[in-house]
Amino acid sequence: MFDQLTDKLNNAFRKIKGVARITERNIEEPLREIRMALLEADVNYKIVKQFTESIKQKALGVEVSKALNPGQQFIKIVHDELVKVLGEKAEDLKLEPTKTNVIMMVGLQGSGKTTSSGKLAAYLKKQGFFPLLVPADVYRPAAIEQLKVVGKAVNVPVFDIGEDRNPVSIAKKAVKEAKDKGFNVVIIDTAGRLHIDEELMKELKDIEKEVNPDEILFTVDSMTGQDAVKSAAAFDKELPLTGVVLTKLDGDARGGAALSVKFVTGKPIKFVGVGEKYTDFEKFHPDRMASRILG
Ligand code: GDP
């Protein structure tokens, strides 16, 4: 994960390793390399600018430490700035076991929405919740079938939509069934499209109005870099997103989406997908991710 970025940042750190103290001159080259590494990782340019300026200021202002040498201090500053752009602290889902919680999964087709719905159901089940999966992508019969397969694999019931092909009424009926049968989390797998269009957004807004979700999670393929961030921002304008599920991190050597999405949308990454298996799903921890990035 993020191997290229990790290698490049470590190269930058090598330049400052043995210095006796941090000066404007000896951090110039490492800072330039950090800037390049982030740009090559496809991090939003505004973040890159702010990030490197902040590191510079902090590095030059840092007190001499007994515990850390100047090189280590510099790395710590970079680490702390990474934690900041990644979202500072881990954010929990706002769910209460005693009520019927509703989670809407939204995102573009192929982003990993259906897979993530299943992964999330398995994750919540492990935490003691009783989830119900709901197929609301009525345009692609294959998507409905796929959710059934997913449900079976993670041993979570899938709402039977019968002949209904209206996503709003499906969502409404599913929530009612959950209430009647004692499920406390309804996970609605909404339709995705290859591109954002008005019709899709209207449908999502209609579902949102009908079921008033506790969480609206935007699933996005981390390998699509700044396109991922753009689509997140576009969805966020239309729907009150509560968080992001960043998928396919296992195949992402660059990390630009992970490092940009919180800054651009203001919405936290809540989970990451790290493989095709249903257990390849983790709660997102900015500090752990920062440490991983630094290698
Ligand atoms: P949807 O169209 O948004 O519902 O996307 P799918 O859930 O069908 O996922 C599209 C493809 O991405 C499938 O082949 C999934 O197995 C794959 N996928 C989803 N999440 C991950 C992940 O975290 N890592 C990897 N490697 N593949 C993933």
pLDDT at 140: 87
pLDDT at 101: 98
Whether ipTM tops 0.95, in short, is: yes
Average pLDDT over residues 15-36: 94
Q: Is 191 annotated as a binding residue?
A: yes
Contacts of 47-51 with CB under 8 Å at 24 or more apart are 47/85, 47/259, 47/260, 47/263, 51/81, 51/85
With a 6 Å cutoff on the Cβ, whether 224 touches ligand 1 is: no
pLDDT band at 63 (very low <50, low <70, confident <90, very high): confident
Q: Which atom of ligand 1 is nearest to the CA of 273?
A: 23
pLDDT at 196: 81
> Do 132 and 185 form a contact (C-beta atoms < 8 A)?
yes
pLDDT at 157: 98
Question: What tens digit of pLDDT does each residue of 251-292 get?
Answer: 998 999 999 999 999 999 999 999 999 999 999 999 999 999
Residue 149's contacts (CB-CB under 8 Å, 6 or more residues apart) are: none
Q: Provide φ and ψ at 79, rounded to 5°.
A: -55, -50
Give the tokens for residue 9.
């940042």
pLDDT at 221: 96
With a 6 Å cutoff on the Cβ, whether 135 touches ligand 1 is: no
Cα of 34 vs centre of ligand 1, distance in Å, is: 31
Candidate from 115, 154, 190 with most ligand 1 atoms within 8 A of CB, to mutate:
115
pLDDT at 262: 94
- Residue 110 and residue 232: Cα distance in Å, rounded? 14
- Residue 282 and residue 70: Cα distance in Å, rounded? 34
193 pLDDT above the threshold of 90: no
Mean pLDDT of the chain, nearest integer: 95
Q: Which atom of ligand 1 is nearest to the CA of 275?
A: 24
pLDDT at 257: 93
Q: Is 193 annotated as a binding residue?
A: yes
Question: What tens digit of pLDDT does each residue of 130-151 get?
Answer: 999 999 999 888 999 999 999 9
Q: Provide φ and ψ at 285, rounded to 5°.
A: -120, 110
Q: List the residue whose alpha carbon is closest to atom 21 of ligand 1.
A: 248
Q: Which atom of ligand 1 is nearest to the CA of 117?
A: 7
